[in-house]
Structure 1
Amino acid sequence: MKENTDKNRREAPRPEAGRRNRPFSASDAFYLLENMSDGFYMLDREGTFIYLNDVAYQILGRVGQNLVGCNAWEEFREAEAPLRDIYEAAFEKQTRFQTEIYYSPMDTWFEVVGQPVDGDRLAVYFSDISRYKSAESQLEFMAYRDDLTGLLNRRAAIETAEEWIGEGTQFAIILLDIDGFRQLNDLHGHDTGDRYIAAIAERLRELMHPGDVLTRTAGDEFMFLSNCTESAELEDWTREILRKISIPVKLTPTFNFSTTASIGVSRYPVDGLCMGELLSMADTAMYESKQRRGNCFSVYHGKMRAKLERRRIIEDDLFSGQFSSKGFHYVVQPQIDGRDGTLIGIEVLARWNHPELGQISPFEFIQVAEDSGAIELLTRHLFELILDTADRWIGRYGGIPKIAVNVTPNLLENKMFYSNLIRKLKKYAISPDWFEIEITEESELLFSERVLNNLWKCQKAGIAISIDDFGTGFSGLSYLTNFPVNKIKIDRVFINLIGKSAKSEAILKSIITLADGLGLDVIAEGVETEEQLRFLTAAGCPIVQGYYFDKPLTAEQFENKYLAGHRTPAE
């Protein structure tokens, strides 16, 4: 019984099949056209409307009107030429087409799909795609714009420059980098940094010439493409850019921030014939400005190419680690008690005698290491070298002098700095009491929470903290009140003026008296004459470092002179 029932069910005609086989009538077609979601119209070969459905009238904003008998080219006036060509091609080839047109009366974009019918008519479906076009425009805007400032971005700058090059248009690239911006971000947060960048962008907009392109190419980097290429005019304009940037920006009701910029300039076609080359040259010129401590501009010239190649070699050797086998080493300079010649400590000084480049100054390779992010690798290797030597000296002589090593603010920003340093000291069984960190008085970054946290931990462990080049930085006494300081090192600038400037001598005495009152040790660097030594000793600063006692020595030279036989300089 069940089998028969199943069989009957399978053989029974389905209603759907019956409906599908019923002839499709004109009323069915009309019902379909009037109830579809798209607009529909039909044209004859002359472009005259034969029929439009209700949705077509709605989309066109023509409800209550009658367009039958009207010409489509009048209705789609802005798109007449391309649309007429497309329609005629469809008639001629009897092929389907698809396109997009803008309809100005409704400020609308349509997607239009057409198909010839019976050879002399054209059935056209169209729909409003304005939302999609708006999203597409937004995506295109985002692809070429910087979100924060609304300026064009690096991609837009490159494409614009390539167009100008293709047209043979002369132009200049003015590439500028904000000096010290990272410090603002680290100390006051990225929201504050963003407000500063937005304010600078507005100032730069005010300096644009007609036809200029201004872009934000990186976090704190901007670029002008300008038809201002005459040297004198370009120089005046660049100085005005520097002046504008140096004006303080009010970021909160109680906080104004001011800094400077480093600018590099290259010109087409004088300096290069492609955008990649011109950008590289502008970047090289900007780096030249950075080396001059910022707040200046440099125009690219041929000699900079050699500097660029030199920098590339230094960067490559730093990142690959090859610097360790290419002449990188250290020397030490003794720190002496000028009253009796007793050895107090040593300062470790990095040196690099490169097989290709010759002697590279510490300022140069340390700056490259800082800029490129290789400073941690470099310092880690330096620590390994000196601690290995110190371990050997302890084994031979039972002790070592206090070792002072200069550490950059970027290293101290690393939250692992303290733990990594203590791990190294333990590895070589060296007491933290024998180690000293020197910090150059150069950067507001030193007041960041991470830096201070590392310094307090180091001091608590027994590592001495010394302020190098004291008196030349921007904050002076702020270090003494906010830092875990054990010692200050008076800069050689003041030492050189002993016997030449009564004002400098008065400042020296004040620094020494202040340090003594705060319970801080004092050392003077760059001491070269007996007159300087006598003055410093009388003023209460007998601990000195400089050529008067000794030049920087290799580890072997120092060992032979100061450790072997426990001899002192006085002997």
Structure 2
Amino acid sequence: MTQEIDSLKREITALKSKLVAQRREVARYRMLSSVFQSATQPIALVNTNFQIISVNPAFCKLTEYDESEIQFFPINAMIAHHKRGELWPRVQTSLEQEGHWEGLLWNEGKTGTVYRVDTHIHSLDNDDPDMANYVFFFRDVTQEKETEEKLAHRSNYDLITDLPNWNLFLNHFINALYTSGQKGSQTALLFIGLDGFKIINDTMGHTIGDKLLQEVAIRFSNTLSKETTVARFSGDQFTAVIPDIKNDEQTRLAAEATLASLHRPFDIENEEIHISCSIGICSWPGDGDDVETLLRNADSAMNKAKESGRNTYHFFTPDLDAKAQAKRTLEIDLRKAVQTFDEFHVVYQPIVDLKTGHMKSAEALVRWHNAERGLVSPDQFIPLAEQNHLIVPIGEWVLEQACREIKGWSDQSHSPFRVSVNLSSRQFREANLPDIIKGVLKRTGFNPNQLSLEITETLMMENIEDALVILHELKAMGVRLSIDDFGTGYSSLNYLKRFPLDTLKIDRMFVRDVTSNPEDAAMVSAILTMAQSLGLEVVGEGIETKEHNDFLLGKGCQLGQGYYYSRPLKIEEFNLFAEKRAFRTKAK
């Protein structure tokens, strides 16, 4: 009896333990179920046939399916159709061989929305086909990936045109060179500069300018072959890399097609815009051993195309490289000279009364005498200074030197005297130009009324409203304003009457043939009539003969300058000339 009781006790204890274990298992199951249901991460339980047997609410929210709709639904059918054939075989093979897989899947929801999920899959070591054999964990990374892609796109593509930028262009260029090297062919580089884009951008606004760049980019891309990489290099410049070229004729045809793509006008915001381009061409191998050299040589060829009249193309030649090298060494010397200004001096060309020959004022002009080069022509270094922003410090130095030297002469002679100083386009666009002028006048003590600033009409017309603001600021300081090289730009009375001008200078190109060319004579007469209607003082430039002088005088022109009266003089020579004040030429 005692043994039976002990056996029964053992059975009861074992039963209790089993019940406790079952309760614990139920509790554990309930806990896991609760975790499964409340998890914010989408989870799917999948059987050995890769069918869904259970999903949590987060999965339903992500996919927009109810659990009942996808019971025993093939899990691979959740992958977007365009990615399924690529992704699922790799996933299935990894699960069957290694029991786990992780990576990025492109899934598709109930409404067709495609989203990307960072996916982790683990085997549960359960062979029962009705039970979960795999657990899929998903994390929606769609927005995260889109942000990454946008950042990557931004680092490789131009924000305005969406063409490859320098980074991607360089990568494609190097690949093209490698491919051509492997095939024994050539790679052509087209360096494309838009003609006159700056005027369009300044006069019509940057919004239209940006849209024009976008439309130009589309035409270039549609015109050139799909193997060609078209990129926006900078500003209004583009590049095109054509790989695997067999001969120059292919390149020539590509350049001609690129030029022709801009023949049709652009319709942008109801404005009809015409623009052309100039193209420089070089090729590898032959025109350079590296990307930097090839770009530099193609740029030289493009500049040659612009010098040849624009709207054309030019192949690189060794003499262009020599010119480019000479230009670079000239720039180096110019930069050194600007550091001290010891090699610069100012010369003055008298401006005289055409009736009396008395000197009324003078134009200040800069000269550069390099120790090795000798006297460097302004036609050489002024455009270079403009391109490299050196014209701003040079212009300020000329202005201060002229004010200082003419003040010294005026103080010594007790005769106030006016001097004219040219403002370059870059100087005029400097936001602090009025402050620079004020600073020079303050440092030199020069009377503002004795200073005349010369600005070209084309420069004023590039952005009329901004020009008006600057000119009125300068005028308020007391300086005189002169429009230089008149007749070469817009020459519109409607525009000119808005500007606070004092003087108008007739460009020398009209004066040169005024006695032999009826068109030039008519132009000069029209300019003088316009100036009289505006109450402007007129200076005729480039007077070299008595006939020039007499013609202008007869048409009512008051003042003139040119070699008929005097070449530009150094300050010492100018002082001697100025003492005479009533100088006459031998012809008189």
| Counterpart residue number, 2:291 | 275
Deviation at 1:535, TM superposition (A): 2.7
Q: Could you tell me which residue of structure 2 aligns to residue 112 of structure 1?
A: 119
| Residue 164 of structure 1 pairs with residue 176 of structure 2 | yes
The answer to whether structure 1 residue 194 and structure 2 residue 206 are counterparts is: no
CA separation of 1:539/1:31 partners in 2, compared to 1, >3 Å: closer, same or farther?
closer
**Count of residues paired in the alignment:** 542
Structure 1 pair 126/537, CA: closer, same or farther in 2 (3 Å)? Answer: closer
User: 1:232-243 counterparts in 2 under 5 A?
Assistant: 232=249, 234-235=251-252, 237-242=254-259
Question: Are positions 1:39 and 2:40 aligned together?
Answer: no
| Cα deviation, residue 256, structure 1 | 3.8
Q: 1:54 and 2:55 equivalent?
A: yes
How many Å apart are 1:379 and its aligned residue?
Answer: 0.8
C-alpha distance in structure 1 between counterparts of 2:478 and 2:75, whole Å: 97
1:451 Cα offset (Å) = 1.7
**Partners of 1:420 and 1:214 in 2: how far apart?**
42
C-alpha deviation, 1:521, in angstroms: 2.2
Q: 1:499 & 1:164 partners in 2: Cα distance?
A: 60
The one-letter amino acid paired with 1:54 is V
Match of 2:266 in 1: 249
Tell me, in whole angstroms, the C-alpha distance in 2 between the residues paired with 1:567 and 1:355: 37
Matched-pair contact (CA < 8 Å) for 2:52–2:70: no
Deviation at 1:349, TM superposition (A): 1.6
Quote the residue 1:483 is aligned against.
499
Give the Cα separation in 2 of the matches to 1:71 and 1:185.
Answer: 53
SS at match of 2:320: helix
Query: CA contact under 8 A between 1:165 and 1:273: conserved in structure 2?
Result: no
Mapped pair 1:218 → 2:245: no
1:533 matched residue in structure 2: 549
**Shift in Å, 1:172:** 2.5
1:361 to 377, 381, 398: 377
> Among 510, 514, 536, which residue is 1:494 paired with?
510
Identify which range, 429-438 or 23-32, moves more after superposition: 23-32
Aligned counterparts, 1:78-477, within 5 A: 78-80=86-88, 82-83=90-91, 86-87=94-95, 90=98, 98-102=102-106, 107-115=114-122, 125-168=137-180, 170-227=186-243, 230-232=247-249, 234-235=251-252, 237-242=254-259, 244-245=261-262, 247-253=264-270, 255-289=271-305, 294-313=310-329, 315=331, 322=338, 324-325=340-341, 327-355=343-371, 358-399=374-415, 401-443=417-459, 445-477=461-493
Tell me how far apart the structure 2 counterparts of residues 356 and 298 of structure 1 sit (CA, whole Å).
Answer: 33
Distance 1:406 1:557, change over 3 A: same
Report the CA distance between 1:290 and its aligned residue. Answer: 5.1
Q: Which residue of 2 aligns with 1:3?
A: none
Q: Which runs of 5+ in 1 are unaligned?
A: 1-21
Report if the CA contact (8 A) 1:342-1:570 is conserved. Answer: no
**Correspondence for 1:66:** 72
The 1:228/1:554 distance shift into structure 2, 3 A limit, reads farther
Corresponding residue SS for 1:271: coil
Between the aligned partners of 1:461 and 1:531, the Cα distance in structure 2 is: 39
Could you list the per-position Cα deviations for residues 313-346 of structure 1 after superposition, in whole angstroms to 9, with x for gaps in the alignment? Answer: 4555666773544623222222233444321221
Contact persistence 2:358–2:581 (CA under 8 A): no
- Once the two structures are TM-superposed, the CA of residue 457 in structure 1 deviates from its matched residue by 3.5
Say which SS state the counterpart of residue 152 (structure 1) adopts.
coil
Are the equivalent residues in 1 in contact too, given 2:166–2:233 (CA < 8 A)? yes
Question: Partner letter of residue 157 of structure 2?
Answer: R
Gaps of 5+ in 2: 1-23, 128-132
Question: Secondary structure of 2:404's partner?
Answer: helix
Q: Whole-Å Cα distance in 1 between the matches of residues 547 and 582 of structure 2?
A: 25
Pick the structure with greater CA Rg.
2
Query: What displacement does 1:257 show?
Result: 3.8
Q: Structure 1's 117 and 300: CA in aligned 2 closer, same or farther, altered over 3 A?
A: same
CA distance in 2, matches of 1:71, 1:191: 47
Equivalent position SS for 1:53: strand
Which SS does the other structure have where 2:347 is aligned? strand
In the alignment, residue 568 of structure 1 is paired with which amino acid?
F
In the alignment, the residues of structure 2 paired with residue 71 and residue 474 of structure 1 have an alpha-carbon distance, to the nearest angstrom, of: 69
Once the two structures are TM-superposed, the CA of residue 449 in structure 1 deviates from its matched residue by 2.1
- The whole-number CA distance in structure 2 between the counterparts of 1:49 and 1:206 is 47
Matched, 1:568 2:580: no
Q: Distance in 1 between matches of 2:50 and 2:478?
A: 93
Report the Cα offset of residue 395 of structure 1: 3.2
- CA distance in structure 2 between the partners assigned to 1:208 and 1:29 by the alignment: 62
Deviation at 1:282, TM superposition (A): 2.8
Letter in 2 for 1:218: S
Q: CA deviation at 1:296?
A: 4.2
Once structures 1 and 2 are overlaid, which stretch shifts more, 450-459 or 106-115?
106-115
Task: Name which of structure 1's ranges 321-330 and 383-392 shifts more when overlaid on structure 2.
Answer: 321-330
Is contact 1:344-1:402 (8 Å) kept? Answer: yes
Q: Which residue of the partner structure matches residue 13 of structure 2?
A: none
Deviations 1:184-218 (A, max 9, x none): 44444332322332333333334223322222333
Change (3 A) 1:51 1:189: closer
Q: Following the alignment from structure 1 to structure 2, what is the Cα–Cα distance between the partners of residues 358 and 495?
A: 31
Separation of aligned partners in 2, 1:76 and 1:493: 74
Distance 2:458 2:379 in 1: 14
Give the Cα–Cα distance (whole angstroms) in 1 for the partners of residues 84 and 502 of structure 2.
82
- Residue 40 of structure 1 and its aligned partner are, at CA, apart by 4.1
Q: What is the rounded CA distance, in whole Å, between the counterparts of 1:427 and 1:70 in structure 2?
A: 81
CA shift, 1:403, in A, is 1.0
Q: 2:12: which partner in 1?
A: none
CA–CA distance in 2 between the matches of 1:124 and 1:517? 87
AA aligned to 2:279 is: I
SS of the residue aligned with 1:550? Answer: coil
Per the TM alignment, residue 165 of structure 1 is displaced from its structure 2 partner at its CA by 1.8
Distance 1:405 1:475 in 2: 22
Cα drift, residue 145 of structure 1 = 3.0
Identity %: 25
The code of the aligned residue for 1:329 comes to: H
Report the CA distance between 1:52 and its aligned residue. 5.0
- What SS class does the counterpart of residue 225 from structure 1 fall into? strand
- CA offsets per residue over residues 81-108 of structure 1, 9 Å max, x none? 54466447746xxxx7632244589755
CA, structure 1 residues 242+76, in 2 after alignment: closer, same or farther (shift >3 Å)? closer
Moved more, 71-80 or 163-172: 71-80
Q: Secondary structure at the match of 2:458?
A: coil
Whether the 8 Å CA contact 1:165–1:274 is kept in 2: the answer is no
Matched-pair contact (CA < 8 Å) for 1:264–1:297: yes
Give the Cα separation in 2 of the matches to 1:295 and 1:474: 22
The one-letter code matched in structure 1 to 2:255 is T
Change (3 A) 1:259 1:318: farther
